[in-house]
Amino acid sequence: MLNSIPSDPMTSLRLFQILSPGDDLGEQRSSVAGANAYRLMLLPATIREAAEVADVILVEMNDALATYQSALVWDDHCGFTVTIERSLDDLLRPWHDAGVNYLSVNIYYDRQPWTDAMESATGLRGRLAEEAPYCQLVSRVDDITLANQQGQLAVAMDIEGMNALNGRVELVQTYYDLGVRHMMIAYNRNNLAGAGCHDQNLGLTDFGCKVIDEMNRVGMVVDCSHTGIRTSLEAMARSAYPVVVSHTSPRALVDHERNITDEQIKSCAQTGGVVGISGVNLFLGADAATPEAVARHIAYVAELVGVEHVGISLDFDPEEHASYESHVESTVMEDVDNEFWPQGSGYDRPAQTLHIRHLPDIARSLMELGFTADELRAILGGNFFRVAKEVWR
C-alpha cells in the first residue's frame, strides 16, 4: 500500500490515518524508511521535520499494533443480550474480526423477568456452534488458551443483577454450570441483594452476603458495575476473592452515578480486582466516544491504583450503537424507563459506544501517553485474565 511514497510532505505526515489493521506494517515501515531517507535529502528543513514526524508516527503505530496482536485481548462485557430474534453471527463477528480473544456475553439484566436469564443461557449454549462456529464456549481458564490456539473467540456469560436468582442462592451454581462467570449485584435500582447506582444508597443485604459467599465457593466473579456505592464497598469487603467493576469510568473525571468514586476504585484494587473502562460517551464525558477519551480514563485509574488494576470493557452492541466516527447515527433511547434510567441523568441524549474495532486505536492512544508494551498487554486483557485464574474453578 505504501510502496509508492507520496511526494507531498503533508500527505506523508498523514500516512498513519490511512493504515488499516490488516496491513503489514513491518514491510510498509521498511519501504517508507528507505524512500524517505532519499527524499529527506532533497527537502527544505521544515518539510524534512514534518516527514521525520510522519516516520515517528508510523513507528508508534507499528509498535502499538504489534503489542495489540501479541496481547490476550479481553472484553469483560458486551452491550447486547441474547434473544432468539438476534443472529449470533451478527452479534459476535465484530469481536472476532477485531482480534478479541475473550468476550463475556450479557444474558440478563434486572429489568427483565428472571426466567429470561435461563432462556438466554440455554439458547446461547444451544446455538453458538452452529451460528458462530468461530467461537468456543469456555468453562475453565485453560479453555481460553486452547480456544485462542485454535483461532477461536472464547465466550462466557455474565448477568447484570441478582434478580436473576429469584431469591434462590442455589441458582448461583446452576448459572455457573451454564457458563456464567461473573454476576453484578444490581442493575441501577435496588433489589433483594443490595443497592443500584440510581437508587437509595443502601448496603448489602443478608441475601446479598449469602450470594457472594456462594459465588466465592463456585468460582464466579463478583461484579460491582451498576451497583450503589455502599453496597459495592461492602461486597468488596465481603468477597474472599478479587472483585471487578467490569464496565464503568472514574467519577472524578465525569460526575455520573454510573461511574465509580476513587474510594470504590481503591477498594476494588485492594481485593486484587480490575476496573474495566466502558466506551459509552455519556460516562466518558464527551459528545463522541473516542479512543483518546477511553485512554484518558484508563490512565486515571492506572495512576490512582496501578496499571495492574485496569482493563477495557466497551459495552458495545453492534446493532444499537454507532461508531464514534458517525455522530448522526447515535442511538437515542425512546420511551426511557425512568425507573432504571432516571430523568436528568443524560439518558435522553444521543448515546454512542466506541466500536470494538477501535481497540487497537486505544492501544495507540495509551502508548502515546507513555504506557509500555507490557503495560498495554496487561490493560488489554492480562489483568482480567489474572482475576479469572484466581477465581474460576
pLDDT tens digits along 170-214: 999 999 999 999 999 999 999 999 999 999 999 999 999 999 999
Show me where the domains of the chain are located. Answer: 9-66, 76-391
For 307-332, what is each residue's pLDDT tens digit?
Answer: 999 999 999 999 765 443 443 234 54
Q: Which residues, in sequence order, are bridge partners of residue 135? A: 153
In angstroms and rounded to an integer, the radius of gyration of the C-alpha atoms of the chain is 22
**pLDDT value, residue 341:** 66
**pLDDT class for 352, splitting at 50, 70, 90?**
confident
Asked if pLDDT for residue 144 goes beyond 70, the answer is yes
Distance (Å, rounded) from C-alpha 245 to C-alpha 84? 28
CATH class belonging to 76-391: alpha beta
**Closest alpha carbon to 284 in 263, 306, 299:** 299
Mean pLDDT lowest among 28-37, 79-88, 334-343: 28-37
For residue 38, name the pLDDT band (cuts at 50, 70, 90).
Answer: very low
* 85-92 long-range contacts, CB within 8 A, separation 24+: 86/319, 87/131, 88/124, 88/127, 88/128, 88/131, 88/132, 88/135, 89/131, 89/132, 90/318, 90/319, 91/318, 91/319, 92/132, 92/134, 92/135, 92/153, 92/155
Per-residue confidence band for 336, with pLDDT thresholds at 50, 70 and 90: low
- Are 177 and 217 within 8 A, CB to CB? no
Residue 296 has pLDDT above 80, yes or no: yes
Q: Which residue has the higher pLDDT, 336 or 134?
A: 134
Q: Kindly report the CA angle at 225 between 223 and 230, in degrees rounded to 5?
A: 90
pLDDT value at position 327?
Answer: 34
> Whole-prediction pTM value?
0.83
Residue 204, amino acid:
L
User: Cell numbers at residue 33, please?
Assistant: 524508511
pLDDT at position 18: 29
Q: How confident is the model over 267-289, as a mean pLDDT?
A: 94
Instruction: Tell me the one-letter amino acid at 202.
Output: L
Give me the pLDDT at residue 174, please.
98
pLDDT in the model for residue 47: 53
Q: What is the mean pLDDT of the chain?
A: 85
Is it the case that residue 266 has pLDDT exceeding 60? yes
pLDDT on residue 46? 60
154, pLDDT greater than 50: yes
Which grid coordinates belong to 371?
Answer: 504506557
